[in-house]
Structure 1
Amino acid sequence: MLQSYTAKYTRFRGGYMGQLVEWPEVVTEGADLDECRAMLRDALNEMLLAYRDLGKEIPPGNALLEQLSVELDRVGETT
């Protein structure tokens, strides 16, 4: 069975942090985006094995992401 998870990457001074939206416990870091992506896939595989060994329910994937825009200088103003 094929399951999809949504990866979120955050850049910081030392590289990237990767985390799964639907399964926040799956998180890792890499020096660059490609390394982080590979490490996140590995972390997902390891977490899947651990959950199966423990008999825990694997979180469902397929999150729907949507970006919301906000004008920061207008937050709190009344119209």
Structure 2
Amino acid sequence: MGQLIEWPDVITEGKDIEECRAMLRDALNEMVLAYQMQNQEIPLGNSLIEQLPVEIDDVCQAA
């Protein structure tokens, strides 16, 4: 799952991280075009936050 910080409503997912990144790039391009068509200021950001999933084989709950 991926999300754009500047547009928190844009959330996507892919079968792997590469596909998710590609889908986020596509969503970003679409958002920029929409903002340009509406003469809105495009949010600027130059930060990258990336969380990666961790697989856990056995999960035990404390009683």
Q: TM-score, normalising length from structure 2?
A: 0.65
Q: State the structure with bigger RCO (CA 8 A, min sep 6), 1 or 2.
A: 1
Amino-acid identity (%)? 69
Q: Which has the higher strand share?
A: 1
Query: Which residues in structure 2 correspond to 1:1-79 (within 5 Å)?
Result: 17-63=1-47
Alignment root-mean-square deviation, CA? 1.8
Unaligned stretches of 5+ in structure 1? 1-16, 66-79
Q: How many residues align?
A: 49
Question: d(CA) in 2 for partners of 1:21 and 1:61?
Answer: 8
Moved over 6 A (4+): none
Tell me, what secondary structure is at the counterpart of 1:45?
helix
- Per the normalisation by structure 1, the TM-score is 0.53
